[in-house]
Structure 1
């Protein structure tokens, strides 16, 4: 599969962008009511844990989508998703397939990888010469 190695920077960027957009949707649903979901029919009260999660999802997702401050933002979001898994999902059942925690785990480790690897070749960090 060595023929794909020349595309690793671009593919990392695509992974970052798509993960960020999917993650941002959680923040827009919580804070802006878009897209409308039954779970977030009412916006969370400001300064609550769910409100802070929405802010991190929205702002952190936007920063990741453009690849700005990729490593620190991805590290913070990875930790947030680890906490979300252990607080919200793990108490429901042992196995992630039973507690619906697969997405939290996937975001956690995807963001952890981005914290180590950076934003890829299509990122603002890369454009301005940061080690993003």
Structure 2
């Protein structure tokens, strides 16, 4: 069995799961659902820096990455926000993630960095739109060719 044929579907599923988990984390922080903010159990007050803004990034980027729309820019923003969370929020409490509680931030940061580099995979809205644009370009080129003939 050639496992290379599973690369695209595996990448797509990885992207969807990471996006969903990030979205859920953001929903908990912004709206207080799903158990609320891990620290307080409630929603972060609107506009509070950095928690509410981080939650908003998590909701937006998590949803975009999950469905595979504007995946690379969303993954870049998500990765950067998690790097910020690690170095500004967690790292002052200790260098290693196991000591400072930053495992989740580190895992999300590197997961989104991987998605940014590898792309959305075949099961994504980005792929659907790219395919449609390709068909539209081919149709327009064929129409111009038939007009010249």
- CA RMSD between the two structures: 1.6
Partner of residue 67, structure 1: 68
State the 1:40 CA deviation. 4.0
Aligned ranges 1:74-89 → 2 under 5 Å: 74-89=75-90
State the 1:51 CA deviation. 1.2
Q: d(CA) in 2 for partners of 1:11 and 1:42?
A: 33
State the 1:44 CA deviation. 2.0
The structure whose residues are more often helix, as a share, is: 2
State the 1:42 CA deviation. 4.1
Q: d(CA) in 1 for partners of 2:83 and 2:49?
A: 18
Give yes or no for contact 2:82–2:109 (8 Å, CA) kept in 1. Answer: yes
Q: Once structures 1 and 2 are overlaid, which stretch shifts more, 56-65 or 34-43?
A: 34-43
Partner of residue 54, structure 2: 53
Larger relative contact order (CA 8 Å, sep ≥ 6): 1
Determine whether 1:33 maps to 2:24: no
Structure with larger Rg: 2
State the 1:95 CA deviation. 1.3
Partner of residue 142, structure 2: none
Aligned ranges 1:100-119 → 2 under 5 Å: 100-119=101-120
Q: d(CA) in 2 for partners of 1:47 and 1:88?
A: 14
Partner of residue 9, structure 2: 10
Which SS does the other structure have where 1:44 is aligned?
coil
Q: d(CA) in 2 for partners of 1:117 and 1:61?
A: 17
Unaligned ranges ≥5, structure 2: 132-149
Give yes or no for contact 2:86–2:106 (8 Å, CA) kept in 1. Answer: yes
Determine whether 1:24 maps to 2:20: no
